[in-house]
Structure 1
């Protein structure tokens, strides 16, 4: 009789322990699944477009980082080298460009300013534009920028080959620096004439 009672107690204990461990395992699985589901849902954002909800997806910060590297380099060069004969426009563009680069950019700007480069653009009503050919960025975040610059004056159109290089450094994102990068050690490697065409005068 006593043996039967002991066996029943042991059996009940084993069943209770097994049920407890099974419950803990199930709760752990459910928690892991719920956590993953919540994280996944946080990446889904609904944006209202004319009162119509549109589902957009959030990507990881590093997913398109290489694209951002090239976009940052391209943005700086477009701001720095797009120079119409408009003093206020030039100043506004260069002010934006200075947020994207360290003091090497400011040094280049001051050097050109002292040489009367920007005044000559205004005096001759020249229009300077730049066309990006390619941008390479290596694993050490050293970039090389290849482009062609077009200089159009009243009497001529000149095309120049432009190659610059520098390094990229991660910094906090701001409204003035949306990519969260800054260009360092920037220098011009090549800047030479490719073509010079005189405009026809009638």
Structure 2
């Protein structure tokens, strides 16, 4: 009888010990998980001192803001490429900046326009070209379609042209010349046609 009581107590102690061990393991895992979440959330919080007063600034997830950066990069490239003034140094400066944002497809279009005398015609006619972005469509495959209107102001007339281009976007390391870290690839113009031609009084 005494032996049975001892065996029962040993079993009970074993069960209690095992249960306590499992409980301790569960508590440790739970504490570690919540501690990890707390540290992760703390790393997303950045404090900026403003006159020795700490101000909380939240760190955002880069991927959440990536579509906006894609659109900004596409808009910047097209503005550099299609908004021009009759100044050869300015045109050269614009094209140089634009080429940092695109692969050889951008350089190919630039060279084609140059060979056709496009930039010389801007200088000779004293044309001022401005681009208005209508919309930029993005697809999950990182393909984009740009829709805009280009206004060409000449001494004799104002011409409005529709502009539709497409290409692909590739993530690259950010740099001083490419702050968004986006490279436009396989870029081509789908449409560039006159919408209106308004003559000006020349007297």
TM > 0.5: yes
2:118 matched to 1:117? yes
2:84 matched to 1:83? yes
Question: Which residue in the other structure is 2:146 paired with?
Answer: 145
Structure 1 residue 25: deviation in Å? 1.3
Structure 1 residue 150: deviation in Å? 0.8
Structure 1 segment 40-189 matched on structure 2, within 5 A: 40-49=41-50, 51-189=52-190
Taking only aligned residues, the RMSD between alpha carbons, in angstroms, comes to 2.1
Matched residues in 2 for 1:68 and 1:99: separation?
Answer: 16
Deviation digits for residues 54-96 of structure 1, max 9, x if unmatched?
3222222321322222222111101111112233322222112
Matched residues in 2 for 1:89 and 1:49: separation?
Answer: 39
TM-score when scaled to structure 2?
Answer: 0.87
Structure 1 residue 170: deviation in Å? 2.8
Structure 1 residue 15: deviation in Å? 2.7
Question: Which residue in the other structure is 1:11 paired with?
Answer: 12
Helix, strand or coil at the partner of 1:63: helix
Matched residues in 1 for 2:195 and 2:58: separation?
Answer: 45
* CA pair 45-118 structure 1, distance change in 2 beyond 3 A: same
Structure 1 residue 201: deviation in Å? 3.9
Matched residues in 1 for 2:59 and 2:149: separation?
Answer: 36
Q: How many residue pairs were aligned? A: 202
TM-score when scaled to structure 1?
Answer: 0.88
Structure 1 residue 2: deviation in Å? 4.3
User: Which shifted more, 40-49 or 97-106?
Assistant: 40-49
Matched residues in 2 for 1:36 and 1:77: separation?
Answer: 42
Structure 1 residue 134: deviation in Å? 1.3
* CA pair 26-61 structure 1, distance change in 2 beyond 3 A: same
Question: Which residue in the other structure is 2:198 paired with?
Answer: 197
Matched residues in 2 for 1:2 and 1:76: separation?
Answer: 88
Matched residues in 2 for 1:182 and 1:191: separation?
Answer: 23
Deviation digits for residues 155-189 of structure 1, max 9, x if unmatched?
32211111111222233333322333222221111
Matched residues in 1 for 2:52 and 2:127: separation?
Answer: 47
